[in-house]
Structure 1
Amino acid sequence: MPSIRLGIRAHDLQATTLKELCEQANQYDFTNFQFAPLKLAKIGLGDVNLTPGLATSIFNTIHQHGLAVSLLGCITNLADANQQNRNFELTRFENFMAAARYFGSAIVATETGSVSPNGYTPDNFKEPAFEQVVSSVRRIAKTAEQLGALFAIEPGDNHPIHDLETTRRLLQVVDSPNLKLIFDPVNLITATNYQQQDQLIDAFINEFSDKIVAIHLKDFAIIDQHCDVCAFGQGQLHKERFVKLIADRFPHIFCTFEGIQPQQIPTAIAELQQWVDLDKI
């Protein structure tokens, strides 16, 4: 069977130290973390300055436990209408890209955010929001090319980059070899398109296969005509078809469990192992 490299978002594990975090990951068939320091205040990180020394110390501990960092998460609102806030977050993202070499050249990743500080707004689907994201991504791409770093955008249905068309437009306007994609099909599935999920997944993979560097694994359930997110294996995603497809198209690709509780991990892993092999190292 084809293989994938299974990981988990570090902040989905319940640990209070980095060592404990790695030990918990070693209990399962994980080879890597999606590691977002901004979401890891519980292990002493949070909004820290990722100096080369700190980054090296973190990565050495992770590496000593036989783990890698697939994605270096840096939550950044690329569409923030407040220029001062946006500049601050873009500078932090650029600093993460500079630190990525100390994390085994991890790919720095983010969603695209919202023009509203309160999250979702219909304004996210209007042209000014798209242009705001383009401006941010252009700046990041220039820095990434100078640093020799890779960065990835994750499209999501509530965000300015929310479907195939906006993803296509972004890649056309910012034509950088350093710009990559994280594919999370559940982020693009809604109560109105879930019955066409196979077509949506096929179209995204066929069009953007040369840009996809990582996959998020979670699930969804349509309840009262609303798309609720749940742990992988607990919902209506055509899991077998999807997992076999990505393993065939992208052998050994980084796949990350997202939004999963520790007690749900063994069942989710057992499902995956029916259809693909999991890399051990």
Structure 2
Amino acid sequence: MKIGLRAHDYGKLTVEELTSRISKDGFKAIQLALPKAIQGITSYLEVSDEQVLEIHKACEKAQLEVAVLGCYINPALIDDKARAEEVEKFLRALEMVKPLKAGCIGTETTHFNGTEEEREVAFNLLVDSVKQMVTKAESLGVDIGIEPVAYHTLNTPELTQRLLEEIPSKRLKIIFDPVNLLTVENIEKQDTLWERCFKCFGDKICAMHIKSIRLNANGQLEVPPLAEGVVNYEKIMAWLKINKPDIALLREEIKPEEAHLDKSFILQLINK
């Protein structure tokens, strides 16, 4: 297993400074969202081939694998024009996956707070967008990672399974973020949730995010230090060791000054 992190949690820096700092802190993999992490880049639509080559060389020099190229768009927007613009950004970013030797390119699926009837409409729009994205991914020979989130269009393991069934492509994978599937209602039943995840999309997991969460005294979700959260990572890691032993574990929301503590925590999970 490779221990990595979300690069822009270190700030928006030159590619040399960013990769050097992350490597010196002992990490081997990154989730890299170019507009959020690299100085001088504001949109995937503006990235040149020369910039991509420069970034790849810097990652190689620092011995960092780009586990996920982050291109977080809104692929389930109701407005067709706005949705098409989001998909266009993703299609352009897809062209950078191979030059960066990235494991996959990842996105979430648009914030959602409507009725379940409205979710069905949003889901069908999501399917349309992802079909376009997968068609290009197949032509390029690269993988897409979709991330389910409790408060987004793709919000449950079962709906994620349905997306995979409707688009049966070997290029369509899942980014597993346990915390993003937890809510006030299900956090104390999380072991059952993880079993559902493994059953519905376990074989499709291509990367995993690691972060922290717990209920506070008021019964609300809060983000404590990584070692003080309540996610049952022991159960998740036991499954991953058997089924996904080469997966990248990507720490999100890291504070660089605490990087050594978080890395030690993740190492302990791996070695248990």
TM-score by length of 2: 0.92
Match of 1:36 in 2: 33
- Could you say what secondary structure the match of 1:101 adopts? coil
Distance change in 2, residues 1:191/1:138 (3 Å): same
Are residue 198 (structure 1) and residue 194 (structure 2) matched? no
What is the distance in 1 between the residues matched to 2:68 and 2:241?
19
**Runs (4+) of structure 1 moved beyond 3 Å?**
none
What is the distance in 2 between the residues matched to 1:53 and 1:175?
34
Counterparts of 1:140-155 in structure 2, within 5 Å, are: 140-155=133-148
Distance change in 2, residues 1:231/1:55 (3 Å): farther
Q: Residues 189-243 of structure 1: CA distance to partner in whole angstroms, max 9, x if unpaired? A: 1111111111211221233222100000011111222223445323111233333
What is the distance in 2 between the residues matched to 1:67 and 1:197?
32
Greater share of helix residues, 1 or 2?
Answer: 2
Query: Do the aligned partners of 2:41 and 2:47 also contact (CA within 8 Å) in 1?
Result: no
Match of 1:219 in 2: 212
| Aligned-partner residue type, residue 12 of structure 1 | D
Match of 2:238 in 1: 244
Counterparts of 1:5-84 in structure 2, within 5 Å, are: 5-14=2-11, 16-40=13-37, 43-48=39-44, 49-84=46-81
Are residue 210 (structure 1) and residue 203 (structure 2) matched? yes
What is the distance in 1 between the residues matched to 2:83 and 2:56?
28
- Could you say what secondary structure the match of 2:185 adopts? coil
Structure with the bigger RCO (C-alpha within 8 Å, sep 6+) is: 1
| Aligned-partner residue type, residue 190 of structure 1 | T
Give RMSD over aligned pairs. 1.8
Query: Do the aligned partners of 2:160 and 2:200 also contact (CA within 8 Å) in 1?
Result: no
Distance change in 2, residues 1:170/1:230 (3 Å): farther
Paired residues, number: 268
Percent identity reads 29
Please, which moves more after superposition, 21-30 or 232-241? 232-241
5+ residue gaps, structure 2, are: none
Distance change in 2, residues 1:34/1:176 (3 Å): same
| Aligned-partner residue type, residue 114 of structure 2 | P
| Aligned-partner residue type, residue 228 of structure 1 | E
- Cα shift at 1:105: 4.1
Query: Do the aligned partners of 1:160 and 1:166 also contact (CA within 8 Å) in 2?
Result: no
Query: Do the aligned partners of 1:191 and 1:225 also contact (CA within 8 Å) in 2?
Result: yes
What is the distance in 2 between the residues matched to 1:261 and 1:40?
15
- Could you say what secondary structure the match of 1:26 adopts? helix
Match of 1:117 in 2: none
Are residue 267 (structure 1) and residue 264 (structure 2) matched? no
What is the distance in 1 between the residues matched to 2:47 and 2:11?
22
- Cα shift at 1:244: 3.4
- Cα shift at 1:7: 0.8
Counterparts of 1:105-184 in structure 2, within 5 Å, are: 105-114=102-111, 120-123=112-115, 126-184=119-177
- Cα shift at 1:15: 5.3
Q: Residues 136-178 of structure 1: CA distance to partner in whole angstroms, max 9, x if unpaired? A: 1111111111221211100000001000121111111111111
- Cα shift at 1:55: 0.8
Query: Do the aligned partners of 1:231 and 1:258 also contact (CA within 8 Å) in 2?
Result: no
Query: Do the aligned partners of 1:233 and 1:239 also contact (CA within 8 Å) in 2?
Result: no
| Aligned-partner residue type, residue 150 of structure 1 | D
TM-score by length of 1: 0.89
Match of 2:182 in 1: 189
Please, which moves more after superposition, 15-24 or 101-110? 15-24
5+ residue gaps, structure 1, are: 115-119
| Aligned-partner residue type, residue 58 of structure 2 | T
Please, which moves more after superposition, 127-136 or 153-162? 127-136
What is the distance in 1 between the residues matched to 2:225 and 2:70?
20
- Cα shift at 1:261: 1.0
- Cα shift at 1:179: 0.5
Query: Do the aligned partners of 2:148 and 2:176 also contact (CA within 8 Å) in 1?
Result: yes
- Could you say what secondary structure the match of 1:191 adopts? coil
What is the distance in 2 between the residues matched to 1:132 and 1:229?
32
Are residue 102 (structure 1) and residue 96 (structure 2) matched? no
Please, which moves more after superposition, 249-258 or 122-131? 122-131
- Could you say what secondary structure the match of 1:103 adopts? coil
